Amino acid sequence: MSKNNNCPLCGSASIRIFLTRRKVPVHQNLLIRDRERATKIARGDLELAVCEKCGFIFNQGFRLSELRYGEEYDNTQTHSPFFAEYISNLIDYLIFEKKVQNCRVLEVGCGKGLFLRKMVEIEDAGNSGYGFDPSYNGPEVELEGRLQFAKRYYGPDCAGISADVVICRHVIEHVPDPMGLLHSIRQALINSPQARVFVETPCVGWILRKRVIWDFFYEHCSYFTAGSLTTAFAASGFHVEDARHLFGGQYLWLEAKVSNLKPAVIRTPASIPQLATRYARLENDMKTCWQIKLKKLAGKGKIAIWGAGAKGVTFANLIDPACEWIDCVVDLNPQKQGCYLPGTGHPIVNYQDLGKRGVTTTILMNPNYHAEIKLLLQKSKFKINLFTGSQEL
């Protein structure tokens, strides 16, 4: 595949690579039970480019063929009570505020189907669901036929499946051609002119402003702001009704309707190109600061990081690739416990193992989980210092 020399979103040639990381693990969320295999995982380059015209950020070095979203792929986050509550609130919002009731709900990239199942399980809401995901692995029909799944992509060949609502959460950032995905959804909705679309994806403005070095990784090849996501939807035949932030500012949430008008597309890079430049200038200093900090903390006792998802994997690979300072990584997902971190091979453990491993410091990858983890540690009576990773150094 040749490199994309134009912005995949607006087509502009005004793109500039601002950050390069060579040989990063292509996968962050694989279950790997063998340490050596974890260290020998496939690697690729991160060559992040920013479009000066629309503010879209993408990995110009991305090769889709490197990725395998098969049965070993697991990014389940609902083992965290905080995250489970976030999902539950989002579903309540859709059903009660947005009146997603008696609707045919399609989910593009439904993963294991947890979100869609919850949307359909609330019986009073009267919804039926149809989930699409090539990595789906489970029964094709559930809840007396009200819930169906297809192990494939959703696209124009699905135009015969009517939809009132389309949900697409945490998918578009994995797609190197987001316009292709949106055109494909728009074509599939040709017979559903009333359809509403709800999309969730990380906000790159939050990553750049907070300088979250572990939020740029290979699985995510497309990074949006509210402006660039709106540009993409408007140009794909949707009318954007709302685009705002959720999850403490980390996520973007966009609501759109099918439109038959051809709107004038306004590209708004805002300050993203400048923020990208500033971020890139500081990344090496931030890495060095973390390494100095870990070295100092390691002198006092063992260190764990909390969260073996993409953030934890990226942090460990950037800061401690040779396993010098971090003893282990905690994750509440029992499927991940006993596995090894892709790229570095750090062991993934249950938090109850921290005491016997002699861990004295835990670094938290996502500040949203601070209260929940503090409580877990207090209940288990572990005397462990808890650092929030994103705190200013």
**Interface with Zn ion, residue 9, by CB under 5 A:** yes
Looking up tokens 């892709």 gives 342
**Interface with Zn ion, residue 51, by CB under 5 A:** yes
**Interface with Zn ion, residue 10, by CB under 5 A:** yes
Choose among 30, 57, 56: nearest CA to 43: 30
Give every CB contact of residue 137 below 8 A, 6+ residues apart in sequence.
71, 112, 151
Order the strands of the 43-51 sheet from edge to edge.
15-25, 43-51, 57-59, 222-223
Total residues at interface with Zn ion (CB under 5 A)? 8
**Interface with Zn ion, residue 204, by CB under 5 A:** no
**Interface with Zn ion, residue 32, by CB under 5 A:** no
Name the minimum Å distance from CB 267 to Zn ion. 6
Restricting to residues 142-201, name those near Zn ion by CB under 5 A: none
Distance CA 239, CA 171 (A): 20
Restricting to residues 55-74, name those near Zn ion by CB under 5 A: 56
**Interface with Zn ion, residue 218, by CB under 5 A:** no
**Interface with Zn ion, residue 232, by CB under 5 A:** no
**Interface with Zn ion, residue 18, by CB under 5 A:** no
**Interface with Zn ion, residue 4, by CB under 5 A:** no
**What token pair was written down for 286?**
């931030």
**Interface with Zn ion, residue 54, by CB under 5 A:** yes
Name the minimum Å distance from CB 163 to Zn ion. 29
- Among the residue ranges 46-54, 78-86, 291-299, 316-324, the one whose residues contact Zn ion (CB under 5 A): 46-54
Which of 4, 12, 75, 162 binds Zn ion (CB under 5 A)? It is 12
Of 51 and 213, CB closest to Zn ion: 51
Is-contact 154 108, C-beta < 8 A?
Answer: yes
Distance CA 329, CA 306 (A): 6
- Among the residue ranges 8-16, 95-103, 218-226, 281-289, the one whose residues contact Zn ion (CB under 5 A): 8-16
Please list the residues that pair with 105 across neighbouring strands. Answer: 129, 165
DSSP-H helix ranges across the chain? 35-39, 81-92, 114-121, 178-188, 204-210, 226-235, 272-298, 310-319, 354-357, 370-379
Of 51 and 330, CB closest to Zn ion: 51
Site residues (CB under 5 A) for Zn ion?
7, 9-10, 12, 51, 53-54, 56
